[in-house]
């Protein structure tokens, strides 16, 4: 199982000007991955997400789902939308159903599922995001910000996607709220083997939750690997308007001062354990 | 939960400081609004802000932390009279925001930068966008040009003055929004999660700009944020919980109370977390470490290093 971009280029045209958003980009997302996508504003992240879910078509190159070209005549758009779920930034702004459950049922119903199936999947999705039964018949507009975001996410989950793609799912949430959203994503990733790709501007969140990190710059993938590997490149990331997590930056400075840093530490917990180990203290 | 900062105690005993000496003086500020269902029936009353006492002196840099829904933004909107208290009083530079006659003067004194840069742009050209504010408050046109130039320079966006704001990055747009406020010669800037939609370099540029305006031009700054490392450099921090100020003090005081912060759904900065983790494991490290430099010297001095040859 894989979702692939092969030598994809994409342009935006406005007022006779053509701007290249993606440059001959190739990328493969396998099954059961947990990927953080980072890059400066304008690096092409959002365009990439829209190509993955079929909202945009590449000018050059191909998008393949399990090896099949999604542009092929026999490949339905609905199938792509259902299998690759896209959650926009601030998805709560797109809630429109009269009730929570109606809003969440919209996606699977649109895919042409049987009514019973629609009902069951919506119910399961709401359960997955932690929205209780007492809220099913409430207007989504009456919910709190955090609840609205969960409902919006459930609307995509109800289509049972194999790939879940999220554009800054934590934007505007407080630290505890960010952690809750991530715990929920981790659970889906582990229990349903869902492949998840999320965009984030918080390197700390990426370090904490992503297994693989993809770094974009000027329409290309410039780094792609395990989070621990990527955050070694402090200078290179800074040159393209990014940074490493505060913990990694601190540990690099410690290393420059002579501390024997054997392994890259990217979260506070790791840093504490690393320093204690060096000091000969047993951890815990 | 009890407030701990001395400022809070002062507020509770209701002293009568000379108003003009305070940039912001909130006294028992309460803001209620009614929650309605789809038919418009009142479902309940919500106290978004609940009896807040808060004093900020001119030139101070304060950060406001707190969970979503804790009342931070509602409180902030009182500072430039977008909202007025349903109970209590808020003075900006001695002017009561509840008095309709003061509103224009207050909007000029205290400018606000919001979360989404795209919602704050009003013009097709950067310099016209920046000129909108001063024009609105009746600054003569020859003065407007001068102010636009000076404020675009102070946020480092002068070279973009002829461009369309649509072509700017989020961080650049926020700096243009700040320039638009600066052009009104304010004494206070309120940033309501103004960096939350920005990439790391955009965030850094906006914060550097705000710090520079604070240090070099003495502008009072109220920074509302979910990023703890942004709050570390503030003179004082206010932590809100359920419409009240739950904790206030210097960053060192506030980040020294992890239990209270947790109850407020506020986290420690990562550097502070590392310091605390090491301390709990028995290393000789102070309870609150705020900066990389501090932690570096603590760890270097703690014997974690092998003997140098």
CB–CB contact A253 B296 (8 Å) = yes
Whether residue A282 has pLDDT greater than 80? no
All residues of chain B having their beta carbon less than 8 Å from the beta carbon of residue A259 are 299, 304-305
SS (H, E, C) A132-197: CHHHCCCCHHHCCHHHHHHHHHHHHHCCCCCEEEEECCCCCCCHHHHHHHHHHHHHHHHHHCCEEE
Q: What is the mean pLDDT of residues A187-206?
A: 94
**The predicted structure's pLDDT at residue A284:** 45
**The predicted structure's pLDDT at residue A250:** 96
Torsion-angle region of residue A42: left (phi > 0), alpha (psi -120 to 50) or beta? left
Say yes or no: A261 contacts chain B, CB-CB below 8 A.
Answer: no
Closest alpha carbon within chain B to A173: B68
Whether residue A190 has pLDDT greater than 50? yes
Share of chain A above pLDDT 90, in %: 71
Whether residue A3 has pLDDT greater than 90? yes
CB–CB contact B198 A173 (8 Å) = no
**The predicted structure's pLDDT at residue B241:** 96
Over the stretch B226-266, which tens digit does the pLDDT of each residue have? Answer: 999 999 999 999 999 999 999 999 999 999 999 999 999 99
Over the stretch B94-149, which tens digit does the pLDDT of each residue have? Answer: 999 999 999 989 998 999 998 887 888 888 899 999 999 888 888 898 899 999 99
Beta pairing class for A60-65 and B188-192 = unpaired
**The predicted structure's pLDDT at residue A210:** 96
* CATH 3.40.50.300, domain B6-250, yes or no: yes
Q: Give ipTM to 2 decimals.
A: 0.88
**The predicted structure's pLDDT at residue B170:** 81
d(CA A283, CA A274) in angstroms, rounded, equals 9
| Chain B closest-CA separation from residue A1 CA (Å) | 32
Instruction: Work out the mean pLDDT of chain A and round it to a whole number.
Output: 92
CB–CB contact A276 B278 (8 Å) = yes
CB–CB contact B228 A175 (8 Å) = yes
Q: What is the mean pLDDT of residues A139-158?
A: 89
Instruction: Work out the mean pLDDT of chain B and round it to a whole number.
Output: 87
All residues of chain A having their beta carbon less than 8 Å from the beta carbon of residue B300 are 254, 257
**The predicted structure's pLDDT at residue A114:** 95
Share of chain B above pLDDT 70, in %: 90
**The predicted structure's pLDDT at residue A117:** 96
More confident residue, B33 or B223: B223
Confidence of residue B9 (pLDDT cuts 50, 70, 90): very low
- Specify which residues B112 forms β-bridges with: B190
Which structure tokens are listed for B29?
């500020």
Nearest to A213 by CA among A247, A179, A191, A245: A245
Mark which residues 125-164 of A lie under 8 Å from B by CB.
Answer: 139, 141-142, 144-146
**The predicted structure's pLDDT at residue B37:** 64
Q: Are A131 and A80 in contact (CB under 8 A)?
A: no
More confident residue, B299 or A215: A215
d(CA A35, CA A52) in angstroms, rounded, equals 14
CB–CB contact A257 B300 (8 Å) = yes
CB–CB contact A246 B308 (8 Å) = no
SS3 assignment, position A241: coil
Closest alpha carbon within chain B to A259: B305
**The predicted structure's pLDDT at residue B168:** 83
**The predicted structure's pLDDT at residue B20:** 54
Say yes or no: B58 contacts chain A, CB-CB below 8 A.
Answer: no
Look up the CATH number of domain A2-232.
Answer: 3.40.50.300
List the single best residue of A201, A261, A274 to mutate versus B (max B Cβ within 10 A). A201
Say yes or no: A253 contacts chain B, CB-CB below 8 A.
Answer: yes
**The predicted structure's pLDDT at residue A13:** 85
pTM of the model: 0.87
**The predicted structure's pLDDT at residue B38:** 61
Whether residue B300 has pLDDT greater than 60? yes
**The predicted structure's pLDDT at residue B131:** 93
Of A210-224, A240-254, B106-120, B219-233, which range is least confident?
Answer: B106-120
CB–CB contact A258 B308 (8 Å) = yes
Q: What is the mean pLDDT of residues A179-199?
A: 93
Share of chain B above pLDDT 90, in %: 60
CB–CB contact A171 B196 (8 Å) = yes
How many angstroms separate the Cα of B17 from the Cα of each of B25, B56, B221?
9, 12, 21
CB–CB contact A246 B202 (8 Å) = no
Tell how far CA B166 is from the center of its chain. 26
Torsion of CA A110, A116, A120, A125, to 10 degrees: 10
First vs last C-alpha separation in chain B: 52
**The predicted structure's pLDDT at residue B197:** 80
| Chain A closest-CA separation from residue B99 CA (Å) | 32
Of A89-93, A107-111, A252-256, B285-289, which range is least confident?
Answer: A89-93
All residues of chain B having their beta carbon less than 8 Å from the beta carbon of residue A174 are 66-68, 226, 265-266
Q: Which residue has the tokens 């059961």?
A: A32
Q: Which of B69, B278, B306 sits opposite A272 (nearest CB)?
A: B278
Over the stretch B170-219, which tens digit does the pLDDT of each residue have? Answer: 888 889 999 999 898 899 999 999 888 888 888 888 899 899 999 998 99
Q: Where are the domains of chain B?
A: 6-250
Tell how far CA B209 is from the center of its chain. 14
Q: Which of B38, B299, B308 sits opposite A275 (nearest CB)?
A: B299
Confidence of residue B4 (pLDDT cuts 50, 70, 90): very low
Whether residue B288 has pLDDT greater than 90? yes
Count of pairs with CB atoms under 8 A, one residue in A, one in B: 130
**The predicted structure's pLDDT at residue A90:** 84
Confidence of residue A172 (pLDDT cuts 50, 70, 90): confident
Helix (H) or strand (E) holding A253: helix A246-256
Say yes or no: A173 contacts chain B, CB-CB below 8 A.
Answer: yes
Mark which residues 248-287 of B lie under 8 Å from A by CB.
Answer: 265-267, 269-271, 273-274, 277-278, 281-283
| Chain A closest-CA separation from residue B127 CA (Å) | 22
Whether residue B275 has pLDDT greater than 90? yes
């Amino acid at each position: 199982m894989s979702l692939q971009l092969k030598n994809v280029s994409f342009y935006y045209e406005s007022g006779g000007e053509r701007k290249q958003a993606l440059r001959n980009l190739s990328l493969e997302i396998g099954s059961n991955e947990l990927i953080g996508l980072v890059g400066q504003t304008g690096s092409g992240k959002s365009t990439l997400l829209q190509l993955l879910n079929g909202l945009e078509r590449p000018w050059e190159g191909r998008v393949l789902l399990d090896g099949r070209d999604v542009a092929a005549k026999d490949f339905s758009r609905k199938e792509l939308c259902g299998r690759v779920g896209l959650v926009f930034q601030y998805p709560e702004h797109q809630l429109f159903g009269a009730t929570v459950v109606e809003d969440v049922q919209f996606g699977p119903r649109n895919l042409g599922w049987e009514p019973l199936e629609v009902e069951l999947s919506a119910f399961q999705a709401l359960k997955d995001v932690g929205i209780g039964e007492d809220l099913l018949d409430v207007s989504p507009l009456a919910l709190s910000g955090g609840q609205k975001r969960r409902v919006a996410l459930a609307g995509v989950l109800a289509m049972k996607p194999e790939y879940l793609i999220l554009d800054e799912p934590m934007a505007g949430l407080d630290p505890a709220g960010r952690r809750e959203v991530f715990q929920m994503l981790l659970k889906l990733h582990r229990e349903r083997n869902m492949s998840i790709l999320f965009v984030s501007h918080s390197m700390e969140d990426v370090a904490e939750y992503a297994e693989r990190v993809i770094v974009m710059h000027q329409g290309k993938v410039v780094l792609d690997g395990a989070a621990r590997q990527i955050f070694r490149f402090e200078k290179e990331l800074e040159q393209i308007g990014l940074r490493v997590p505060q913990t990694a930056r601190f540990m690099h400075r410690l290393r420059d001062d002579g501390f024997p840093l054997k392994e890259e530490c990217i979260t506070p917990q790791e840093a504490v354990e690393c320093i204690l180990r060096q000091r000969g203290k047993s951890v815990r | 939960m009890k407030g701990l900062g001395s400022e809070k105690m002062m507020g509770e005993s209701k002293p009568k400081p000379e108003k003009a000496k305070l940039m912001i003086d909130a006294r028992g500020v309460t803001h209620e609004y009614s929650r309605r269902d789809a038919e418009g029936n009142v479902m309940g009353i919500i106290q978004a802000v609940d009896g807040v006492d808060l004093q900020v002196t001119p030139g101070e840099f304060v950060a406001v932390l707190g969970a979503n829904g804790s009342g931070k933004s509602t409180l902030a909107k009182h500072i430039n009279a977008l909202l007025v208290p349903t109970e209590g009083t808020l003075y900006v530079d001695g002017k009561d925001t509840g008095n309709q006659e003061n509103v224009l003067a207050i909007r000029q004194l205290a400018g606000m930068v919001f979360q989404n840069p795209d919602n704050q742009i009003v013009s097709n050209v950067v310099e016209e966008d920046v000129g909108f504010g001063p024009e609105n408050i009746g600054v003569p046109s020859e003065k407007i040009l001068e102010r636009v130039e000076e404020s675009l320079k102070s946020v480092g966006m002068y070279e973009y003055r002829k461009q369309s704001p649509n072509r700017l990055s989020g961080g650049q747009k926020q700096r243009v929004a700040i320039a638009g406020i600066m052009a009104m010669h304010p004494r206070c800037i309120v940033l309501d999660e103004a960096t939350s939609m920005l990439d790391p370099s955009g965030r850094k540029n906006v914060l550097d700009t705000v710090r520079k305006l604070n240090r070099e031009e003495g502008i009072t700054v109220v920074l509302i944020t979910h990023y703890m490392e942004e709050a570390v450099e503030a003179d004082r921090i206010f932590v809100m919980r359920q419409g009240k100020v739950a904790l206030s003090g210097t960053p060192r005081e506030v980040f020294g109370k992890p239990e209270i912060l947790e109850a407020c759904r506020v986290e420690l900065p990562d550097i502070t977390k590392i310091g605390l983790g090491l301390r709990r494991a028995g290393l000789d490290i102070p309870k609150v470490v705020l900066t990389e430099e501090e932690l570096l010297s603590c760890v270097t001095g703690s014997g974690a290093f092998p003997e140098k040859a």
